[in-house]
Structure 1
Amino acid sequence: MLDDWNKWITRQLFTLKSNGLQRNLIQTSQATQPILVRHQAKLINFSSNNYLGLANHPKIIQAMKDGMNEGASQASSRSLVGTSKAMKQLETELAKYHNHEAALLFSNGYMANVGVLSSFLSHHDVVLSDRLNHASIVDGIRLSQAQHIRYRHNDIDHLQEQLQKIDCGKKRIWVVTDTVFSMDGDIAKLQELVLLKQRYGFALMVDEAHGGGVFGSQGQGVVEQEGLSPHVDIHIGTLSKGFGVYGAYVIAQSNWIDFLINRCRSFIYTTSLPPVVISGIKASLQLVKQGDHLRKDLRKKSVYFRNHLRDFGFHTFDSKSQIIPILIGDETKTVLFSHKLEQRGILSLPIRPPSVPVNTSRLRFSILASHQWNHLDQALETIQQIGKEMGVI
């Protein structure tokens, strides 16, 4: 029996490799920096989510060192051992940061999405989800057993068509979307979603994983930037990208948070974030609030990089953020383009199915506030050269 499993696994890996889809873990150092080291070579890093460059900020590092005085771990779930004063203060501060009633910390964004969706939804409910939402959203919906309708990406008309087919008087309806989409770099049409919410009465959940820290007057995200915070029922914030630390949080009305404390399995049955991480998050939050200069610098660099790629003739989808993809299409060709970039000192990893639909493989460039302008110029020149060599442009 075990031999059968080994043969099956070997066949699956062979198929992945043959189709150019096999992934490997590569030892890398300085992975959050604009220049990282891989295979003893220095590469300009366009694959990090450390958008504001805070992951190595001395104030965060010092805060985390100080947090070690409270111990290396909480060693238990919060429902068993209790909640530390520092953690409760941080949740109060996060709620105030979003001008909302309550917040709840989670271990990471995946556990937040899976936990929230599987807690609130059941087989009696209907959830409509953008086709390009995070995998954690898809998995949370699957666990919930709710009726799952995936509307075409950022297609409000298609979403409305699906809503019209539902008996809103008999079904509870939930709509969920990323704000900044991780593979295309575009932004959800939140204003139009809110108008639909007012008409159909659904609950609206947004995931600000790639918007947090980057958008908003103090980095609260796209929702705050567009003045829509009162219209969002569940706000998922991720602390491992723009904030440069680790963890995630949920913002909602206090009774919704109380419900999660009592029903959310990914919160109840896991060890609490350690004190060292809580200290780091608190320091990061202050830096993000005061980081408008970083946000402005990131926007300038993102616009500069994206406009040049488009001028060269690359298809960058509808990117409007620091995430800038270029469409290659064929999986093998995408991997080859990435390999050629790495040989010339640029790291941009290929994004392939199942992360994106078949025939839409792309290279994704994540711009960092900590990139120097000469990093961008060197990368642009190299991308253009390889694009011409390979007939992509």
Structure 2
Amino acid sequence: MDKKVLVEELNRLKESSNYRSLTLQNENGLNLSSNDYLGLGRDRSLREEFYRDNLPRLSSSSSRLIDGSYDEIMELERRAEEIYGKPCIMFNSGYDANSSLIETFTTKDTLILTDRLNHASIYDGIIHSKATFLRYKHLDLMNLEELLKKYSKRYTDILVISESIYSMDGDIADIERLVALKKEYNFTLMIDEAHSYGVYGYGITYNLKLVKDVDFLVIPLGKGGGSVGAMVFCEREFKEYIVNRSRKFIYSTALPPINSCWNLFILNKMNDFEERRAKLEILKNYTLKLLKENGIKIESTTHIISIVIGDNERVVKISDNMRRKGYILYPIKEPTVPKGTARFRIGLNPNITYLEIEKFVEELRDEINSVL
């Protein structure tokens, strides 16, 4: 590999304001870029309660098929199956779960129909599969149905993939309509609930009583769950096939027991977080109202608020200025989002006060108006 070529590419990234670097997490500012939507991961009293009854090992030291199917992870899967009414298998991350399911269960005879704005983990799985794929317009289920009508007779194996809440626009898929289309066109349905778990309790699909109708329900735990890992719910035969054929599952060291204990702890306490969810809903509505009143354009309807700024250079300047004022507000740049739509993605949590949001919106409005 030519180091000179790499350096030239890195320089081009810097020139286009596309260069990424690691920075020390700022613990002092108001964090508006976190995915800890219920504040569970930073809750000291919750951690103290957890450690009173749990002193698990810090490493699994093995893959699941060797010595990594320890008591805690097996109990987590058992309890999850009890709640969701469907077999559960744990992956180390939502990224691994999404990409692995697609790579494991599709063939050259599969057609994948994927929402255009699905997560990179989904597209990585698609790229590494041998399947043909087509993208339907974001959340446009009429467009999806057009594709189903066109290709359902040509392909007997069709996989449709959607998220429930989208992380860059904060909008919601119509899962009921997706299930209705599945029943009409007989395809396999995969739903990623990364941004709804916790905020919507056990997730939107669970609340709609549609778990049985979704072939692969992926519940990542690194956001609203305040943890790491991902639960996958599927039929028993699919779970057995994952154990035998999923390379990311077979060859990865299992999650540490401490993480499985925490995941089980949160899973069992999920119904105790109603007050947090109610506070988050009120804060969300108040923030959306304030942004609109201050002339800041938004499209979001959820706790994830997307504010499109435009080009990379401008969003980076505003981010730097806001950071100096005490706000942790990281820019989302192209190519993560389409060209010309660099943005801020605000993640709210119930620990943020109205006064903090009022001051933040005022400062953000001033920066947007002054940085041209």
The alpha-carbon distance between structure 1 residues 232 and 94, as it changes in their structure 2 partners (threshold 3 A), is same
Give the alignment partner of residue 294 of structure 1, picking from 262, 276, 288.
Answer: 276
Note the residue ranges of structure 2 that are not aligned, 5 or more in a row. Answer: none
Structure 1 CA distance for aligned equivalents of residues 369 and 324 of structure 2: 16
The reply to whether residue 12 of structure 1 matches residue 4 of structure 2 is no
Give the alignment partner of residue 212 of structure 1, picking from 179, 191, 197.
Answer: 197
Aligned match of 2:335:
354
Structure 2 CA distance for aligned equivalents of residues 65 and 11 of structure 1: 53
Aligned match of 1:137:
122
Between 276-285 and 198-207, report the one with greater CA deviation.
276-285
Note the residue ranges of structure 1 that are not aligned, 5 or more in a row. Answer: 30-35, 37-41
The reply to whether residue 49 of structure 1 matches residue 49 of structure 2 is no
The reply to whether residue 236 of structure 1 matches residue 222 of structure 2 is no
Structure 1 CA distance for aligned equivalents of residues 172 and 152 of structure 2: 29
The alpha-carbon distance between structure 1 residues 19 and 150, as it changes in their structure 2 partners (threshold 3 A), is same
The reply to whether residue 63 of structure 1 matches residue 50 of structure 2 is yes
* Matched residue SS, 1:291: helix
The reply to whether residue 224 of structure 1 matches residue 224 of structure 2 is no
Give the alignment partner of residue 326 of structure 2, picking from 345, 369, 388.
Answer: 345
Q: Which runs of 4+ in 1 moved over 6 A?
A: none
Structure 2 CA distance for aligned equivalents of residues 101 and 158 of structure 1: 30
Give the alignment partner of residue 106 of structure 1, picking from 61, 81, 91.
Answer: 91
Give the conservation status (yes or no) of the 8 Å contact 1:65–1:276: no
Q: Match of 1:378, as an amino acid?
A: K
Aligned match of 1:87:
73
The reply to whether residue 307 of structure 1 matches residue 289 of structure 2 is yes
* Matched residue SS, 1:149: strand
Give the alignment partner of residue 168 of structure 1, picking from 150, 153, 166.
Answer: 153
Shift of residue 150, structure 1, vs aligned partner: 1.1
The alpha-carbon distance between structure 1 residues 59 and 357, as it changes in their structure 2 partners (threshold 3 A), is same
Aligned match of 1:334:
315
The alpha-carbon distance between structure 1 residues 255 and 60, as it changes in their structure 2 partners (threshold 3 A), is farther
Q: Match of 2:257, as an amino acid?
A: P
Shift of residue 388, structure 1, vs aligned partner: 2.5
Aligned match of 1:23:
20
Structure 1 CA distance for aligned equivalents of residues 129 and 73 of structure 2: 28
Give the conservation status (yes or no) of the 8 Å contact 1:348–1:365: yes
Aligned match of 1:39:
none
Instruction: Number of aligned residue pairs: give it.
Output: 371
Q: Match of 1:199, as an amino acid?
A: E
Aligned match of 1:267:
249
Deviations, residues 317-338 of structure 1 (Å, cap 9, x unaligned) = 2x12111011111221111121
The reply to whether residue 250 of structure 1 matches residue 247 of structure 2 is no
User: Could you tell me the TM-score, scaled by structure 1's length?
Assistant: 0.90
Give the alignment partner of residue 265 of structure 2, picking from 270, 279, 283.
Answer: 283
Shift of residue 273, structure 1, vs aligned partner: 1.0
Shift of residue 82, structure 1, vs aligned partner: 5.3
Shift of residue 360, structure 1, vs aligned partner: 0.9
Structure 2 CA distance for aligned equivalents of residues 144 and 95 of structure 1: 28
Shift of residue 169, structure 1, vs aligned partner: 6.1
Give the conservation status (yes or no) of the 8 Å contact 1:61–1:280: no
Between 268-277 and 80-89, report the one with greater CA deviation.
80-89
Shift of residue 101, structure 1, vs aligned partner: 2.0
Q: Match of 1:320, as an amino acid?
A: T
User: Could you tell me the TM-score, scaled by structure 2's length?
Assistant: 0.95
Structure 2 CA distance for aligned equivalents of residues 355 and 323 of structure 1: 16
Give the conservation status (yes or no) of the 8 Å contact 2:152–2:185: no
Q: Match of 2:159, as an amino acid?
A: W
The reply to whether residue 379 of structure 1 matches residue 365 of structure 2 is no
Q: Match of 1:274, as an amino acid?
A: P
The alpha-carbon distance between structure 1 residues 313 and 225, as it changes in their structure 2 partners (threshold 3 A), is farther
Aligned match of 1:32:
none
Give the conservation status (yes or no) of the 8 Å contact 2:60–2:68: no
The alpha-carbon distance between structure 1 residues 229 and 71, as it changes in their structure 2 partners (threshold 3 A), is closer
Give the conservation status (yes or no) of the 8 Å contact 1:207–1:235: yes
Structure 2 CA distance for aligned equivalents of residues 389 and 60 of structure 1: 42
The alpha-carbon distance between structure 1 residues 86 and 386, as it changes in their structure 2 partners (threshold 3 A), is same
The alpha-carbon distance between structure 1 residues 128 and 381, as it changes in their structure 2 partners (threshold 3 A), is same
Q: Match of 1:52, as an amino acid?
A: L
Shift of residue 77, structure 1, vs aligned partner: 0.8
Q: Match of 1:63, as an amino acid?
A: F
Between 6-15 and 368-377, report the one with greater CA deviation.
368-377
Between 366-375 and 173-182, report the one with greater CA deviation.
366-375
Give the conservation status (yes or no) of the 8 Å contact 2:244–2:250: yes
Structure 2 CA distance for aligned equivalents of residues 297 and 61 of structure 1: 23
**How big is the alpha-carbon RMSD for the aligned residues of Structure 1 and Structure 2?**
1.7
Give the conservation status (yes or no) of the 8 Å contact 1:55–1:244: yes
Give the conservation status (yes or no) of the 8 Å contact 2:152–2:158: no
Shift of residue 363, structure 1, vs aligned partner: 1.0
The reply to whether residue 323 of structure 1 matches residue 304 of structure 2 is yes
The alpha-carbon distance between structure 1 residues 244 and 61, as it changes in their structure 2 partners (threshold 3 A), is farther
The alpha-carbon distance between structure 1 residues 354 and 61, as it changes in their structure 2 partners (threshold 3 A), is farther
